[in-house]
Amino acid sequence: MDGHERPDVVEYQNDVFLPLMASFEQRMAQWTQRLECVELVHVEPELGPDEKQIITVFQDESCFHVNDHKQTMWYTLCSFLEILISCSRKLAGVMEG
């Protein structure tokens, strides 16, 4: 058991989390499939004057491991120059000392 079946967790999911997400869903864009259409159709939410659209971003723990064991990296020119300057300062200190 990893904890999501515990009675207190199930109670929180049913009594707090799911009703809250249902209330948020009214302010989210929806993707629906119409009977006459095979493709999904994007439907914007109907918002009141002071309401803002909610855009959900879901992730799971697998995204934290996506770059593990990589042998290469992407650098911007600025970050690459910062690394070069830092390394040259360290190298200069080693050569002087």
pTM of the model: 0.49
Tokens of 4: 């999501």
Tokens of 79: 């970050």
Do 18 and 24 meet the contact criterion of CB atoms below 8 Å apart? no
Kindly report the average pLDDT of the chain as a whole number: 80
C-alpha to C-alpha distance for 97 and 93, rounded to whole angstroms: 6
Low-confidence residues in the chain, pLDDT < 70: 1, 37, 60-68, 73-75, 93-97
Do 26 and 53 meet the contact criterion of CB atoms below 8 Å apart? no
Q: Phi and psi of 28, rounded to 5°? A: -110, 150
